[in-house]
Structure 1
Amino acid sequence: MEKFFASCPRGLEPLLAEDLAAAGAIDIQTLPGGAHFRGDWASCYAANLNSRIATRILWRVAEAAYAREEDVYKLALEVPWPRLFAVERTIRVDITAVKSPLKSLDFTTLRIKDAVCDRFRRETGARPSVDTRAAEVRISGFLTADRCTLYVDTSGAPLHQRGLRQKTVTAPLKENLAAGILRLSGWQPGAPLLDPMCGGGTFLLEAAQLALGIAPGARREFGFMRLASFDAGVWNKLLADAHARELPVAPANIYGADRDPVALRAALANLDRADLLDAVELIEADILDLDAPAPAGVMVANPPYGERLSELEELATFYPLLGSALKRSFAGWNCHIFTADTRMPKLMRLSPSRKTPLYNGALECRLYEFRMVAGSNRPK
């Protein structure tokens, strides 16, 4: 059994734990932003392939107490790097620190890189090259106040990069955060789903993959493929099983709308590139004028947050209109709105039935649920 750490958007840790358990992980321990777990390589591969929530799966290769940069260097030098990957692989080293006493994280990063190269030189007479942009093997150091842990990244590119989205719009949601919001909304494939402010279509892409049984990692490569431990037989079996579960592309009761034709073209291009266009119905419309596409269903929306004063004033005018539109046109729907603007429910004159704290990167947000009923939504 190996030891791993999976990272995820903060607030989605319970969903991450579900994904890891489904992949065969054991001893799962969540903490803000991720979870430690144990498992064999098959569970590592399965987590990378199937988790819609994880950002990275990191393989723990060393851990010890430290006080100085040289302690970190010695810890890294003890790792048998030539047994983990070939010297021809390019490398990159990154460090994350919480309350570390070290003065220069850049220098500490350099010392880890030196240790990796020194160990290779000692055993093979050669050293790997560094590539900070597209490294084949990523090595991560995590420093607390007194302990250093070293990891090898098994994911490669972050797992939210499904290899599907090409056209982007302003501030798109990361795919794993969108997948988490969909799961928190309670939406199930087959039920009507609407994103009335779809932008580049991230919610639509995630929902269509769910509806058609497409594993989020089925169309991309992973860092573990470049490690000496890679078992192609185990991986090919997992991938074949994943492809066997996929359904033919067909209308899936998923609807997207946006008033911006540029955003709508981006959503169309992304869905088309992912071969998911036939699963989704797109229309150009303003949410304030939009009719519900079904008598009941789930709405998910990620409206602008408002970063400038003029935008905040526009949103203060928009929210009451949005509340009226939801009451008028979406009775019978569960509406989930993700925002960092805590004024929204009050200005919409709606009482949320639930609010879930989530983070979009470092930005603290809320996922508000509004259960729309005919007439007033206020309790008597």
Structure 2
Amino acid sequence: MNFQFFATCPRGLEALLADELLAQHALKIIVTDGGVSFEGNLETMYRVNLHSRIATRIMSRVGQGSYTSEEDIYKATFKLNWPSWFKVNQTIRVKVTGVKCPLKSLDFVTLRIKDAVCDRFRVEGALRPSVSVRDPDVRIHAYLTHDQYQLYLDTSGAPLYQRGFRDVSVIAPLRENLAAGIIMLSGWIPGTPFLDPMCGSGTFLIEAAMMAVNQPPGMKRTFGFQKLTSFDEGLWKKIENEAMNKMKPIEFLDIYGSDMDLRAVRVARHNLKVAGLEEVAKVMQSDFIKLEPPASEGTLVTNPPYGQRIGEDEDLKEVYPAWAKHMKESFGGWNTYFLTADLEMPKDMRLKPTKKTPLYNGALECRLFEIKMVAGSNRKPKD
């Protein structure tokens, strides 16, 4: 039996997510702004949750229709057979998102949806589920346009970018699914040299390491679908075992990271260790302008500290030319990728990007600048 799903993701990565869904045999894939709708059975949904590096949530659509008032949404929610999807002793949380929604208060709509779910349980057995804001067993999402509603059960639970092992970070961490998408956009091939010279807490390094050893991003976490009554534990164990058997040996695979901040280096090493990937990548302390490339060519991907980790924007205007000079002298033959909210960065570096990809780090509008360093030009003369 097939179900209707919607997978959310960071804006700008929808096409990559569609490719992932296709690889897991999803059907009727439709790309929209901020996500991708698709059809599939339970196995498809389990596989997408486990394997998607790009998705934020996988939501199962349980209701849709038109409305003119809060009461319409209450009645539509009440009609749905919530007791068939989860048990009354499980906690719930309702979240409502609206785009051009004419209703006065989304908070009130949230309350009415919660009331409808609880009232449906009371009709069935005189008990009602409790609400948990922080860690609910079941998450219910509603999406409202100017006259249409859609109701979803969240099959993921915690957002999928929470891989289940990072417990320490430094300032302004990059979400894991955005980092994975950037690595994919770079065209990096696992097994070839990969470098993040401003690695912070190591997000790019961990995502690259997982790709290199073919580790599913969801291997070390749990999911919302495991708390639904439809959960098929036998099928899930089969999918998990299949994924584990396809993993490659944990060994060094030409992944390098560095940071001028010793605390960031320690945090990155710690996070790699917690992820079980400390042998796959090497991390060292170094200022970017003093860092020698680990190979004659490779892929450099980084999220520069645009004012948040090394100072104010004025300080960056001074350091950009030094980065560019060092890249010209030492990184000929490398393809470099910079994610930044500073849209003037290439201009200040006096380097011309070969590609500019709009992306969003949360609500922050960014660009992924591709700058290909030509081998043999502007190199230091050898002694």
Shorter-chain TM-score bucket reads: over 0.9
* Distance in 1 separating the partners of 2:6 and 2:86: 19
Q: Which residue number corresponds to residue 313 of structure 1?
A: 314
Deviation at 1:161, TM superposition (A): 0.5
Tell me whether 1:180 sits opposite 2:190 in the alignment: no
**CA offset digits 1:225-281 (Å, max 9, x no partner):** 111111112111110101101122100100000000011110011011111111111
Deviation at 1:376, TM superposition (A): 5.8
* Distance in 1 separating the partners of 2:24 and 2:74: 34
Q: Which residue number corresponds to residue 377 of structure 2?
A: 375
* Distance in 1 separating the partners of 2:249 and 2:36: 34
Q: Which residue number corresponds to residue 279 of structure 2?
A: 278
* Distance in 2 separating the partners of 1:115 and 1:334: 54
**CA offset digits 1:67-117 (Å, max 9, x no partner):** 111011011101100001111111000000000000011111000000000
Amino acid at match of 1:235: W
1:155-194 → structure 2 map (5 Å cutoff): 155-194=156-195
1:1-380 → structure 2 map (5 Å cutoff): 1-306=2-307, 311-373=312-374, 374-375=376-377
* Distance in 2 separating the partners of 1:103 and 1:111: 13
Amino acid at match of 2:231: F
Deviation at 1:124, TM superposition (A): 1.8
**CA offset digits 1:146-201 (Å, max 9, x no partner):** 00110000000000000121111101100000000000000011000000000000
> What residue ranges of structure 2 are gaps of 5+ in the alignment?
none
- How many equivalent residue pairs? 376
Q: Secondary structure at the match of 2:183?
A: helix
Q: Secondary structure at the match of 1:278?
A: coil
* Distance in 2 separating the partners of 1:208 and 1:334: 19
* Distance in 2 separating the partners of 1:68 and 1:56: 28
Deviation at 1:307, TM superposition (A): 6.5
Amino acid at match of 2:192: A
Amino acid at match of 2:116: A
Amino acid at match of 1:324: K
Q: Secondary structure at the match of 1:356?
A: strand
TM-score w.r.t. length of structure 1 = 0.97
TM-score w.r.t. length of structure 2 = 0.97
* Distance in 2 separating the partners of 1:89 and 1:325: 57
Q: Secondary structure at the match of 1:166?
A: coil
Deviation at 1:370, TM superposition (A): 0.8
RMSD in angstroms over aligned alpha carbons?
Answer: 1.2
Q: Secondary structure at the match of 1:369?
A: strand
Deviation at 1:140, TM superposition (A): 0.4
Deviation at 1:361, TM superposition (A): 1.0
Q: Secondary structure at the match of 2:282?
A: strand
* Distance in 2 separating the partners of 1:201 and 1:213: 18
Moved more, 191-200 or 347-356: 347-356
**CA offset digits 1:196-238 (Å, max 9, x no partner):** 0000000000011111110001111000011111111211111
Stretches (4+) displaced over 3 A: none
Deviation at 1:366, TM superposition (A): 0.6
Deviation at 1:305, TM superposition (A): 2.2
> What residue ranges of structure 1 are gaps of 5+ in the alignment?
none
* Distance in 2 separating the partners of 1:29 and 1:211: 29
User: Contact (CA 8 Å) 2:172, 2:308: kept in 1 or not?
Assistant: no
* Distance in 2 separating the partners of 1:167 and 1:307: 18
* Distance in 1 separating the partners of 2:377 and 2:269: 35
* Distance in 2 separating the partners of 1:223 and 1:296: 42
Amino acid at match of 1:257: S
Q: Secondary structure at the match of 2:141?
A: strand
* Distance in 2 separating the partners of 1:161 and 1:103: 33
* Distance in 1 separating the partners of 2:308 and 2:281: 31
* Distance in 2 separating the partners of 1:23 and 1:74: 36
Amino acid at match of 1:166: D
* Distance in 2 separating the partners of 1:234 and 1:23: 15
